[in-house]
C-alpha cells in the first residue's frame, strides 16, 4: 500500500510527505521531481518548449511508474487529477489523501514559487488559483479516500491525522 497525497500547490503535500517518511521509514516519490528528471529540464521549460499536453503525457507516464511502488509516499502534482487514468493507477495500491486549503492561504504559501508557469494566463495569482480550484475540486473530491483541510494546522498535525487513519485502516484489514 502507498500513501498518495494530492491537492493544489501550497497545501502541504511535500512537507507532509517528508514527515510521514520519517515516521514510517518509507521513501517519498515526488512526481514533479521525477518529471523534471525524465525531461531533463524544469517544468516551466517543459511547458514553454512543448506545451501543457506534453507535460501531462509525462505526468501520466510517471504516475504509472509511481503507482507500481509499494510502501511509498507519493507526492503527486496538483494536476494529476486532470486525467482519470492517473487516479485509477494511484488508487490501485494506494490510499489517496486530498490536502486542501483556501485560495488566499494557497497564494500566501506559494507566492514566491517559480517552478510552475501560469495555468490560465492574464489573471491575478488569486484569480488563477480560484479558477483552477473551481475546476479541480470535484476531481480531488472524487479521487480521495480522505480529505484533510490544512487550514490552521501545522504539517506535523496533518501527518499525525494521516497516520491515525492509516493505522485504523491497517487494523481493520
Domain locations along the chain = 2-172
For 135, the grid coordinates are 475546476
Task: Note the pLDDT tens digit of each residue in 41-55.
Answer: 999 999 999 999 999
Q: What is the mean pLDDT of the chain?
A: 91
Packed helices 125-143 and 84-92: angle between N→C axes, nearest 10 degrees: 50
Q: What is the pLDDT of residue 169?
A: 77
131-169 burial: b if 16+ Cβ within 10 Å, else e: ebbeebeebbeebbeeebebeebebeebbbbbeebbeee
The pLDDT of residue 50 = 96
The Cβ of residue 124 has, within 10 Å, a number of other Cβ atoms equal to: 9
pLDDT computed for residue 38 by the predictor: 96
CATH of domain 2-172: 3.40.50.300
| Grid cell of 63 as nine digits | 504516475
pTM (2 decimals)?
Answer: 0.90
Residue ranges, the chain, pLDDT below 50: none
Please answer whether residues 87 and 138 qualify as being in contact, where contact means their C-beta atoms are separated by less than 8 angstroms: no
Amino acid at each position: 500500500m502507498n500513501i498518495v497525497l494530492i491537492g493544489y500547490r501550497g497545501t502541504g503535500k511535500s512537507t507532509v510527505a517528508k514527515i510521514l517518511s520519517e515516521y514510517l521509514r518509507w521513501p517519498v516519490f515526488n512526481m514533479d521531481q521525477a518529471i523534471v528528471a525524465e525531461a531533463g529540464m524544469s517544468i516551466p521549460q517543459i511547458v514553454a518548449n512543448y506545451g501543457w499536453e506534453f507535460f501531462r503525457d509525462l505526468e501520466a507516464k510517471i504516475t504509472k511508474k509511481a503507482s507500481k511502488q509499494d510502501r511509498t509516499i507519493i507526492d503527486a502534482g496538483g494536476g494529476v487529477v486532470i486525467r482519470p487514468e492517473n487516479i485509477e493507477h494511484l488508487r490501485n495500491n494506494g490510499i489517496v489523501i486530498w490536502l486542501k486549503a483556501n485560495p488566499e492561504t494557497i497564494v500566501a504559501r506559494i507566492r514566491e514559487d517559480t517552478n510552475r508557469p501560469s495555468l490560465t494566463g492574464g489573471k491575478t495569482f488569486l484569480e488563477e488559483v480560484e479558477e483552477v480550484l473551481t475546476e479541480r475540486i470535484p476531481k480531488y473530491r472524487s479521487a480521495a479516500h480522505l480529505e484533510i483541510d490544512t487550514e490552521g494546522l501545522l504539517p506535523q498535525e496533518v501527518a499525525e491525522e494521516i497516520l491515525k487513519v492509516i493505522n485504523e485502516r491497517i487494523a481493520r484489514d
